[in-house]
Chains A and B, each alone.
Chain A
Amino acid sequence: MLTWLDANLVSILNGLAIGSLLFILAVGLSLVFGMMDVLNLAHGALFLAGAYLGHLFVGQQAGWASFAGALGVAAVIGALAGGGLSVMTEPLAHRSHLDQALLTLGVALVVAELLSIAFGNDVQSVAAPPGLDGSTVVLGSTYPVYRLVLIGIGALLAVAVHVVIERTRLGLLVRAAVADREMVSALGVDERRVKAAVFGIGSALAMVAGVLGGPIYGARPGLDSTVLILALVVVVIGGLGSVRGALIGALVIGQVESLGRVLLADLASFVLFGALALVLVLRPQGLFGARAQART
């Protein structure tokens, strides 16, 4: 057991780092999804935009200022983009889910193509800030410091999101909206503003995740759909609109992506798929689903 752990420690840590990133990405998707029944397929494109933003700011010569700048700008642009998406999906509120999906899909395609026109088709790397770009020894294995920090940031954000959702008025409204959408308007709150706020926060987190993921994944065309699918799987596994579900789902999928790929090589995609199918069969509403999945 110990030797197994020793041999796979790096993979497990990688899984945690990926899980951290996925949580930051998926929590916004899950809340928008759970609250408003909007499937935001542009979420992956926002991540990618964040990654390119990181590349633009940081490039090869990493500095703390530029990295922090990238994070700040990503949060602002992300929030604005989320607000924009919220406004764009507003006229479709009473249309079918397909319409909303097509719209956000259209946005995703446009954003991804514009990025690839601007930055080309090569992988653009993003360096970690100085001091975090080296390696350290964890239980006898060498491991990049930046990924450890990422795990820490993921944990911090998880706590932060939890506090916002459980302790603040916005969080109360979000929880209420997830449980019963009509109730929020009944409380005399402008539902559209809650939606725009959640959309904005979720999108900001997606872009921030893109910046944070830059030193690991770089920025390249196609990354948007890869992370979108992973985030979708996380949301399905975790359950609609559940912060805890998003966290657990992200940790599970992080390990599937990392440890699964090492242990099972080619079969990792099947494992991802199997995990998805298994959860859906055993718990159709997801592990922590606040609401049973829509039966239209």
Chain B
Amino acid sequence: MTPRTTADAAPPSATAAPEPPRRLLRAAPMAATVVLLAAAPLFLAPYATTTLSRILVFALLAASLDLLVGITGLPSLGHAAYFGVGAYAAGWITIHLTPAVPVPLLAGAAFGGVAAAATGWFAVRSAGVFFLMLTLAIGEIVRQVAQSWDSVTGGSNGLYGIDLPSVAGAPLGNVGLLHWYVLAGAVLGYAVLRAVAASPFGAVLRGIRDNEPRMRALGYRPYGYKLAAFVIAGSVAGVAGALLAAQQRLVTPSDLGFTTAALALLAVVIGGAGTLWGPCLGAAVVVLVRDALGPTLDGHGPLLLGVVFIAVVYLLPRGAAGVRLRRGPGREQSEQEPT
């Protein structure tokens, strides 16, 4: 084959984009999942439905964390901070302003996003271990603020007595209705993450994950993209927080504490980083295990969590951020040494 120049006109490649039918086919499992989840309250006992709602909340948190860990390559240890900020904001607004439905959700999204922007602008300047440390410190400091700012957060007692969310003036007064509300919010948040991941912007994020120096050589300035990803993830985590406030009707400092952040990270790692849906499954496993084993372990759940972390690190052959290191050689070679 003779090489051609860019000046030559070539016919567009036949395989430019996935055909519409294939796209539909790909959406089918997700649609089926949503239908199944929506139908769940009709044949599940209230307690099981509540557990399912909790899984949905935690799944959205894990998926939003995956946008950072798996897609952008920013392993955050403090993501629960934005989850908690969203939860407190939504809870406070429900109590003091209105429980009318889109408001707490929007508040969660806005406050989660603002908190992420306020902390992310310097956190995403760092990379590697530094980023881990900073996010850990930020998460812990936010928790301390939640614990000590009594007048707003209720201190260590938490923010309690959060009203049920209401639609057109009527509170969502049973487990099924509340589940649908949580499902709607989770699907919305997940759809946002999915859309971002599939967009040209999402491709840039994956590029940063695979090879940030090379992105600069292509003319990208990674900082803005990373910050935007951080804010989007924080905002979606805030939505998850708002759902938590509605579902649990109580927000405590431990909801934005390190254990929550670590559990979310665990969900991402065991579910498969970078896939978005994998962490949702991971979240289901984490919540079920925690609920099932929590009582038998007499409040020493973190012991199990610790053992699982150690096991995961040694057992996952490609490491925790599996996607990131999937093609190891390319990454190692990208380190540039002077010649």
Q: Interface on A for B, CB 8 Å cutoff?
A: 33, 37-39, 41, 91-92, 94-99, 101-103, 105-114, 116-117, 225, 229, 232-233, 235-236, 266, 268-270, 272-273, 276-277, 280-281, 284, 293-296
Q: A273 to B219, alpha carbons, bound, how many Å?
A: 33
- Chain A interface secondary structure, helix, strand, loop or mixed? helix
Q: A114 to B306, alpha carbons, bound, how many Å?
A: 11
Stretch from B101-109, B123-131, B191-199, B244-252 at the A interface: B123-131
Of the candidates A41, A107, A112, A277, the one whose C-beta lies within 8 Å of that of B310 is A107
Of the candidates B305, B314, B321, the one whose C-beta lies within 8 Å of that of A98 is B321
When distances are taken between beta carbons in the complex, the residues of chain B under 8 Å from A110 are 303, 306-307, 310
B183 at the binding interface (Cβ < 8 Å): no
B75 and A225 within 8 A (CB) = no
**Most-contacted residue by chain A among B133, B138, B328 (CB, 10 A):** B133
Shortest Cβ distance from A113 into B: residue: B303
Q: A57 to B237, alpha carbons, bound, how many Å?
A: 46
A284 and B148 within 8 A (CB) = no
A106-B307 CB under 8 A given contacts A37-B128, A113-B300, A272-B141: yes
Q: A105 to B265, alpha carbons, bound, how many Å?
A: 12
Of the candidates A91, A98, A107, A293, the one whose C-beta lies within 8 Å of that of B126 is A293
When distances are taken between beta carbons in the complex, the residues of chain A under 8 Å from B314 are 91, 103
Q: A138 to B141, alpha carbons, bound, how many Å?
A: 33
A294-B269 CB under 8 A given contacts A99-B320, A101-B77, A232-B133: no
Q: Interface on B for A, CB 8 Å cutoff?
A: 69, 75, 77, 122, 125-130, 132-134, 136-138, 140-141, 144-145, 148-150, 212-213, 258, 262, 265, 269, 300, 302-303, 305-314, 319-321, 324-325, 328, 332
A98-B309 CB under 8 A given contacts A229-B136, A277-B122, A281-B122: no
A101-B132 CB under 8 A given contacts A266-B149, A277-B122: yes
8 interchain residue pairs of minimum CB distance: A109-B306, A106-B309, A294-B128, A113-B303, A110-B306, A106-B310, A98-B75, A269-B144
Q: A94 to B303, alpha carbons, bound, how many Å?
A: 27
Could you tell me the distance in whole angstroms from the C-beta of A200 to the nearest C-beta in chain B? 20
Q: A109 to B265, alpha carbons, bound, how many Å?
A: 14
List 22 interface pairs A-B (beta carbons < 8 Å), by A numbering: A37-B129, A95-B319, A96-B324, A96-B325, A97-B129, A98-B69, A98-B319, A102-B309, A102-B312, A106-B309, A109-B302, A109-B306, A114-B303, A236-B137, A266-B150, A270-B141, A273-B138, A284-B125, A293-B130, A294-B129, A296-B128, A296-B212
A236-B133 CB under 8 A given contacts A114-B303, A116-B300, A295-B127: yes
A113 and B302 within 8 A (CB) = yes
Shortest Cβ distance from B136 into A: residue: A232
A293 and B313 within 8 A (CB) = no
**Most-contacted residue by chain B among A33, A102, A116, A273 (CB, 10 A):** A102
Q: Given A232-B133, A232-B137, A280-B126, list of 15 further CB < 8 A pairs?
A: A33-B129, A37-B129, A39-B129, A41-B136, A96-B321, A96-B325, A98-B319, A99-B319, A101-B132, A105-B77, A110-B306, A236-B134, A236-B137, A270-B145, A293-B130
When distances are taken between beta carbons in the complex, the residues of chain A under 8 Å from B134 are 236, 276, 280
A280 and B125 within 8 A (CB) = yes
A233 and B137 within 8 A (CB) = yes
**Most-contacted residue by chain B among A101, A111, A272, A281 (CB, 10 A):** A101
B258 and A225 within 8 A (CB) = yes
Q: A116 to B300, alpha carbons, bound, how many Å?
A: 9
**Most-contacted residue by chain B among A98, A114, A232 (CB, 10 A):** A98
B148 and A269 within 8 A (CB) = yes
Shortest Cβ distance from B310 into A: residue: A106
Q: A229 to B142, alpha carbons, bound, how many Å?
A: 12
When distances are taken between beta carbons in the complex, the residues of chain B under 8 Å from A37 are 128-129
Shortest Cβ distance from A294 into B: residue: B128
A269 and B145 within 8 A (CB) = yes
Could you tell me the distance in whole angstroms from the C-beta of B105 to the nearest C-beta in chain A? 27
When distances are taken between beta carbons in the complex, the residues of chain A under 8 Å from B213 are 295
When distances are taken between beta carbons in the complex, the residues of chain B under 8 Å from A116 are 300
Could you tell me the distance in whole angstroms from the C-beta of B273 to the nearest C-beta in chain A? 9
A266-B258 CB under 8 A given contacts A293-B128, A294-B127, A296-B128: no
Q: A236 to B307, alpha carbons, bound, how many Å?
A: 28
When distances are taken between beta carbons in the complex, the residues of chain B under 8 Å from A268 are 148
Could you tell me the distance in whole angstroms from the C-beta of B187 to the nearest C-beta in chain A? 29
Could you tell me the distance in whole angstroms from the C-beta of B137 to the nearest C-beta in chain A? 5
Could you tell me the distance in whole angstroms from the C-beta of A272 to the nearest C-beta in chain B? 6
Shortest Cβ distance from B145 into A: residue: A269
A293 and B300 within 8 A (CB) = no
Q: A33 to B302, alpha carbons, bound, how many Å?
A: 25
Could you tell me the distance in whole angstroms from the C-beta of A177 to the nearest C-beta in chain B? 15
Q: A277 to B325, alpha carbons, bound, how many Å?
A: 30
B306 and A107 within 8 A (CB) = yes
A102-B302 CB under 8 A given contacts A97-B132, A232-B136, A236-B130: no
**Most-contacted residue by chain A among B77, B132, B308, B312 (CB, 10 A):** B132
